[in-house]
């Protein structure tokens, strides 16, 4: 699938990391995907982005030719974040670039934010799409019902690995039944973590690592100084937009748009609109505006007044 | 008549999994899993994993039966069928 997107796998000059690359734009854009999922959800977005950007993706997956299973770029091990940051620096050196913009989806947000904190001179801006902070301790909001249920399932898989095969088979049957009886086709990339016992075990382990990763306050307590774009989906039932907004506001001064009528997968379902907004944000930063009426700007002050009422 | 022990044990597992507040005393064989208990697909397979552990049955070869469970009674019947077959 990566090749179908036009992404080519390369090795960094120092030989210590691999990455995917496409496009020849002057501006570099690093994508940070949700843990444990393939890049398929980015397919249409990458096709559009590669016309303007050089698109880069850290790739810690299995060696070429051995694709399959659950991707391991983030949260596969306790040192994944350090490996990721080293890989990004090596990629930028290989690409002979001083900085890049960073866009994340769902659970990729925490790695994106950590990268911006730890390498501020290398990151030009952050774009966080439907970020998930499941497992975050304290603060506003709570895990969504989906995040709670997924955590329960993954804890069960960890406690009863012998049941993973049965669970994987049952999930496949449930999804097939839903498709047959309700016409509800589950997106292929959402099914990947449940496709086999091995996938369920690996995905469950990554989920526990993800949830254990607490961001904490910024070093020095100061907000991030780089431009930050936050886009939430109005009808996102997968994660908590309220908590995402609160956490992002604690860490930065984000430009926040809520995409009306959108769910969790809007980077796929509304890819053209998202790319327009990304181009606007990269060009104008915090002064970015959106002309499409579906993109509603959420102002922090307005949210406060609304909350007080 | 449902076998009360199996029914009661299954209900105790249901209350561990469901995301909504439920009074176990109100649950019957006709209580729907997806509707009244709001079990999504992830919660359903979590419930069945707990059921495998509690009852010593295996659903791996009966995934279609799991997918077609509609009510609490359906689940209890499947558990009892598999438990009897395992004896």
Task: State the nearest Cα–Cα gap between A227 and chain B, in angstroms.
Answer: 37
Measured CA to CA, the distance from residue B15 to residue B17 in angstroms comes to: 5
Place of tokens 């091995």: A198
Measured CA to CA, the distance from residue A13 to residue A97 in angstroms comes to: 13
Cβ within 8 Å, pair A149-B48 = no
Measured between beta carbons, the chain B residues lying within 8 angstroms of A171 are 41-42, 45
User: Which residue in chain A is spatially nearest to B38 when comparing CA positions?
Assistant: A145
Read off the pLDDT of residues A136-165 as tens digits, 9 standing for 90 and up: 988 888 899 999 999 999 999 999 999 999
Helix, strand, coil tally for chain A in percent (to 5): 45, 15, 40
**What are the pLDDT tens digits along chain B (87 aa)?**
445 589 999 999 999 999 888 999 999 999 999 999 999 999 999 999 999 999 999 999 999 999 999 999 999 999 999 999 877
Cβ within 8 Å, pair A160-B63 = no
Place of tokens 């077959």: B85
Cβ within 8 Å, pair B40-A148 = no
Q: Which of A168, A254, A255 is nearest to A203 (CA)?
A: A168
Residue A302 has pLDDT above 90, yes or no: no
E strands present in chain A: 8-11, 18-22, 27-32, 53-58, 100-105, 123-129, 228-233, 255-259, 295-298
Measured CA to CA, the distance from residue A185 to residue A169 in angstroms comes to: 17
| C-beta neighbour count of B83 within 10 angstroms | 14
Q: What is the pLDDT of residue A185?
A: 62
Measured between beta carbons, the chain A residues lying within 8 angstroms of B17 are 152
Q: What is the pLDDT of residue A254?
A: 96
Average pLDDT for residues A221-234, to the nearest whole number? 95
Measured CA to CA, the distance from residue A10 to residue A20 in angstroms comes to: 6
β-pairing, A18-22 vs A8-11, is antiparallel
Element (H, E) at A131: none
**Residue A47 CB burial class (10 angstroms; 0-12, 13-18, ≥19):** middle
Helices (H) and strands (E) in chain B — how many of each? 4, 0
Q: What is the pLDDT of residue B5?
A: 87
Q: What is the pLDDT of residue A1?
A: 56
Q: For A121-130, A180-189, B8-17, which range has the lowest pLDDT when averaged over its residues? A: A180-189
Calculate what percentage of chain A has a pLDDT beyond 70.
92
- Residue A195, chain B, CB below 8 Å: the answer is no
ipTM summary value: 0.90
Residue A131 CA, chain-centre distance (Å), reads: 6
Measured CA to CA, the distance from residue A240 to residue A254 in angstroms comes to: 17
Measured CA to CA, the distance from residue A290 to residue A274 in angstroms comes to: 10
Partner residue opposite B45 with nearest CB, options A146, A171, A178: A171
Measured CA to CA, the distance from residue B50 to residue A198 in angstroms comes to: 19
- Residue A187, chain B, CB below 8 Å: the answer is no
- Residue B46, chain A, CB below 8 Å: the answer is yes
- Residue A149, chain B, CB below 8 Å: the answer is yes
Token output for A271: 């890819």
User: Average per-residue pLDDT in chain A?
Assistant: 91
Question: What is the CA angle A85-A89-A90, rounded to 5?
Answer: 115
Q: For A53-67, A84-98, A246-260, B73-87, which range has the lowest pLDDT when averaged over its residues? A: A53-67
């Amino acid at each position: 699938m990566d090749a179908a997107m036009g992404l080519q796998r390369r090795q960094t000059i120092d030989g210590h990391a691999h990455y995917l690359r496409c496009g020849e734009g002057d501006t570099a854009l690093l994508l940070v995907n949700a843990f444990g999922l393939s890049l398929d959800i980015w397919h249409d977005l990458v096709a559009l982005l590669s016309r303007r950007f050089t698109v880069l993706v850290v790739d810690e997956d299995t060696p070429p030719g051995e694709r399959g299973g659950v991707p391991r770029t983030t949260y596969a091990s306790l040192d994944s974040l350090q490996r990721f940051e080293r890989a990004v620096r090596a990629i930028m050196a290989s690409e002979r670039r001083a900085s890049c913009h960073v866009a994340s989806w769902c659970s990729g947000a925490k790695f994106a934010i950590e990268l911006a904190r730890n390498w501020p001179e290398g990151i030009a801006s952050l774009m966080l799409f439907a970020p998930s902070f499941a497992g975050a301790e304290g603060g506003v909001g709570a895990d969504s019902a989906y995040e709670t249920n997924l955590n329960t399932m993954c804890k069960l898989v960890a406690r009863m690995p012998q049941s993973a095969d049965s669970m994987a088979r049952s999930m496949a049957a449930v999804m097939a039944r839903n498709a047959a009886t309700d016409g509800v086709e589950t997106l292929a990339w959402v099914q990947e973590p449940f496709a086999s016992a091995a996938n369920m075990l690996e995905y469950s382990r990554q989920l526990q690592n993800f949830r254990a990763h607490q961001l904490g306050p910024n070093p020095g307590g100061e907000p991030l100084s780089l431009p930050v774009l936050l886009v939430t989906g109005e009808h996102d039932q997968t994660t908590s937009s309220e908590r995402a907004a609160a956490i992002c506001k604690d860490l930065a001064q984000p430009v926040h748009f809520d995409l009306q009528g959108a769910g969790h997968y809007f980077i796929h379902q509304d890819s053209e609109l998202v790319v327009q907004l990304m181009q606007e944000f990269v060009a104008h930063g915090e002064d970015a505006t959106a002309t499409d009426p579906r993109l509603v700007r959420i102002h922090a002050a307005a949210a406060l007044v609304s909350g007080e009422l | 008549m449902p076998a009360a022990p199996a029914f009661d044990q299954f209900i105790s597992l249901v209350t561990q999994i469901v995301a909504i507040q439920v009074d176990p005393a109100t649950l019957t064989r006709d209580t729907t899993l997806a509707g009244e208990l709001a079990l999504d697909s992830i919660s359903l397979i979590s419930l069945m994993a707990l059921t495998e552990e509690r009852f010593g049955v295996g659903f791996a070869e009966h995934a279609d039966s799991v997918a077609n469970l509609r009510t609490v009674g359906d689940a209890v019947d499947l558990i009892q069928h598999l438990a009897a077959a395992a004896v």
